[in-house]
Amino acid sequence: MTRRIPILSGSRITVLNAPDDALVLRPDSQPQAVGDVGAAVREALRFPLSGPPLEALIEHAARATLVVELPELPLPGAPGDPRQTALEATIAELERLGLPSQRQTILVAGGLSRRAGQRELETLLAPTAARGFRGTVAVHDAEDPELVQIGNAGQTSLRVNRLLVETDLVITVTAAETVLHGGPGALVRSASTEVLRSAGAYSLLETAASSGWQIGRALESSIAEHTPVIGASLSLNPPRLTGRFHDYPYDEGALVQLAGSPLRRLSLLPSGLRRHVLQGLGRELTAAAAFAGPPSVAHVEALLRSIARRSVRVEEPLDAIVIGMPWKHHHQPRERLNPITAAAVALGLALRLWRDAFPVREGGTAIVLHRLTRHFASGTQDPYRSLFNVLRASRAPLELAVAERAAGIDTQALAAYRAGSACHPLLPYVDWESCRAALDRLGSVVVAGCRDHTAARTLGFVPTHGVGPALEMAHGVAGGAARIGLLLGPPYFPLEVGAAT
């Protein structure tokens, strides 16, 4: 017996004939949303989990820096993001306490991503709130020569944006998605390239093995020695479709409906039109809770709440996992996937959202549903094209380290980053490194539906023309009937994995 399971493959919808014993991985379909996010944030700032409330911190403050991130996660997002309301509520609360918006600065912590332009900045606040804001908006520049050193974390020099120390109050306003996104992660993304390159994580949901979390905590402590720091963190529900397919991928009935819907013929349309249709599908994103306190404290509480509400339990590691893929990558501003960002989304994001154990057994198989063509947007993705050319020659760590050092001092690429016309030349190396934890565990990565076999082999992946051959390979590797999980993302969600018996 088989089931017809629709699953995203880039901008296409693949209907997978899955055996009945395949494990369909999806979170609870009944999220609980906060009715008034602004009120929840204001209440959290008045009664933080620990430390003094905002009212006590602002008593002698003449200016404040609000640190925010553009919403990279969850993927895909939604036009009405609760982080807009949270930021608006924080600005209003500061004004109520006597600090007008003219003396407030919003610092956009973008890390190594392409620096935000006017179009991205307009998404920080709803139009009405944006018109009423009279303060300053600054976009972080990781190559700014005026970054300030405030301490060290081991061998890493902690150099940060001047707005974090030349102020009377620092407030992070973020959502808790991973140990690297939100909370102290926003401070990391307001630091130098050295700090950003050192901020990794084996699992995106466990602090113990995350250098990024430890560096974020060190930054928080060092900044707190100069100025008071408080954070507001949201726990978000998974993004949901609205309209006819509003329960996809959370409800079995929605899977059956989509499998028989004309929308599955989306693959027959030109690629640009397919992405336009998918982007135009109605989506909503809601918050489940809001917390405040020291950024690390508020962030951990919000993240634990998010994991508890969104996670899927897997009793033991799988033999193979099938990963649905989005039509755009997870960096802001979002662009069409290239081979490296496709790998980073599948292996560095979807397969790092686990707790307790890696979701695939040692030597198991990951099946990535994507065509994986060599498409690099001209100009904006030139750094990715450069790394891809390096990988064509060698994937050896020594050669990659040499190429990374050269990329880090490429004056033309750095100038493009600072001008906002491309990402930082080191971001592709960070993306590729994010895949390392999965690559070290997996026996093979199979790209199902691949149309560019050379691109797949350049990354060390195995190309196949469809899902059927990929599943046959997984069964062969497992020595018979493989235990297969279907990750119906995006959106991706936490996997809590039991130890193998």
The residue with greater pLDDT, 163 or 253, is 163
pLDDT at 369 over 90: yes
Q: How far apart are CA 351 and CA 432, in angstroms?
A: 13
Tens of pLDDT, residue by residue over 72-104, are 888 887 888 999 999 999 999 999 999 999 999
Write down the pLDDT at residue 264.
Answer: 59
Write down the pLDDT at residue 402.
Answer: 96
Q: What is the pTM of this model?
A: 0.93
Q: What confidence category does residue 120 fall into, taking pLDDT thresholds of 50, 70 and 90?
A: confident
The residue with greater pLDDT, 149 or 240, is 149
CA 107 to chain centre: 19
Q: What confidence category does residue 434 fall into, taking pLDDT thresholds of 50, 70 and 90?
A: very high
Q: What confidence category does residue 257 fall into, taking pLDDT thresholds of 50, 70 and 90?
A: low
Q: Regarding beta strands 360-369 and 444-448, do their DSSP bridges make them parallel or antiparallel, or are they unpaired?
A: parallel
Write down the pLDDT at residue 201.
Answer: 95
- Phi, psi (rounded to 5 degrees) for 165: -120, -25
Write down the pLDDT at residue 280.
Answer: 65
Q: Tell me the domains of the chain and their CATH numbers.
A: 2-27+311-497 (3.90.226.30), 37-236 (3.40.50.11440)
Q: What is the DSSP letter of 105?
A: E
Calculate mean pLDDT across residues 323-349.
93
Q: What is the DSSP letter of 114?
A: P
Calculate mean pLDDT across residues 356-378.
93
Q: How far apart are CA 475 and CA 292, in angstroms?
A: 48
Q: What confidence category does residue 35 fall into, taking pLDDT thresholds of 50, 70 and 90?
A: confident
Q: What confidence category does residue 368 fall into, taking pLDDT thresholds of 50, 70 and 90?
A: very high
Write down the pLDDT at residue 32.
Answer: 81
Calculate mean pLDDT across residues 215-225.
96
Residue bearing tokens 């430390």? 51
- Phi, psi (rounded to 5 degrees) for 196: -65, -40
Residue 154: how many CB atoms within 10 A of its CB?
10
Residue bearing tokens 């993004």? 239
Tens of pLDDT, residue by residue over 139-187, are 999 999 999 999 988 889 999 999 999 999 999 999 999 999 999 999 9
